[in-house]
A and B are shown apart, each in its own frame.
Chain A
Amino acid sequence: MMPADNSRRNYAALAVSIAVAAIFIYAGIDKIRDPLQFADSTAAFAILPAVLINLLALGLPPFEVACGVLLLAPRTRRVAALAVAAVTLMFFTALASALLRGLTLDCGCFGVGAPSRPRMWMELVLDAGLFSAALFVYLRSITRLSAPAS
């Protein structure tokens, strides 16, 4: 691999990390401010039992903020990217399942909004984009880790 190409990819991974971190910190803080709203959004998916909904509503927002902050530090970026990939995959699966079941709801993934199917499709695309971005950062980090030292 050409060094210039490698450097360009490193900058791309850094830029993607900063963008994803900003989205996750925003989304996490928004949910921390109104956990009840997020719990109601989660319940609307009709996937989790009542005993797990509030635990998710309380635990996920700090997890998102932590992911965002850890993405910004080079030493923790790899694990944070894997965490973001896991969360966005979870959102994607839940949204796709809701769309397939014909539900119209407010995802609550990235802020509060009125229940709407076009918005659900948009958030599905956003989740796919974030998942790809996180996977790119993770694979980039792990490839650098396993590459022979020059």
Chain B
Amino acid sequence: MSIVSPDSARLPQARSLGSQILRDLAVLVLLAIASLAAGLVMNRFSPSPLPIVYQAPEQRFDAELTTLVAAAPFKIAPAATVGLEEFRSAVESKSALILDARPSVFFGQGHVPGALNLARDDFAHDYRDLAGVLQDAHDKPIIVYCSGGECHDSRLVANALLSLGFGNVSVFTGGWDAWSAAGLPASTGSGR
């Protein structure tokens, strides 16, 4: 005859399989919570942390493009510039891709013939729309203009294009004001 102590009833072998599985599942949940906490801490100290809400590659590219043209004017690197005569010659000979950096509403009212609208204020959207044309013109000179005078849009767009790998980008500083004041031809409409 064997003597069974009260403690022996609590031995693991006496536990039901079901309750053991439930206990294991509870530990599993704790492990998952601890892992998520560890992941969030590592992300906090990562050089390129993920945002909490996922962004698709297209959204990330748009955000990156928007950042490229969001620099404060005093931080804009000086881009190469061209004068009216050189610009006019490039327009007439179609030797360069002409980009208008003004908002689309102004572009629609009047722009340099042959120019395409790559608006600074809708850069990501326009850049994706023009991706094919821009890619074809990768090795061609690109000249960007905006209103003229103190406008910064052309320099922001030019620098963004330089950052994106376009090698021959310059700015027509006279802009639309100088072009129209010289009585040169103009086009209207979206140009698309």
Contacts and interface: CB of A to CB of B under 8 A. Distances in A.
A148 B21 CA distance: 18
Interface stretch (A15-23, A119-127, A139-147): A139-147
A103 interface: no
Given A58-B39, A142-B17, A149 B11 contact: yes
B50 A57 contact: yes
B3 interface: no
Contact of B39 (A50, A51, A61, A83): A61
Interface stretch (A33-41, A91-99, A128-136): A33-41
Contacts of B190: none
A64 B48 CA distance: 22
B28 A83 contact: yes
B14 to A, nearest CB: 8
B12 A146 contact: yes
- Chain A: number of interface residues, binned into ranges: 20 to 34
Given A32-B42, A59-B35, A62-B38, A53 B54 contact: yes
Contacts of A51: 52-54
Interface of B: 11-13, 15, 17, 20-21, 24-25, 27-28, 31-32, 34-36, 38-40, 42-43, 46, 48, 50-57
Interface of A: 32, 35-36, 39-40, 43, 50-51, 53-55, 57-63, 66-67, 70, 78-79, 82-83, 86, 142, 145-149
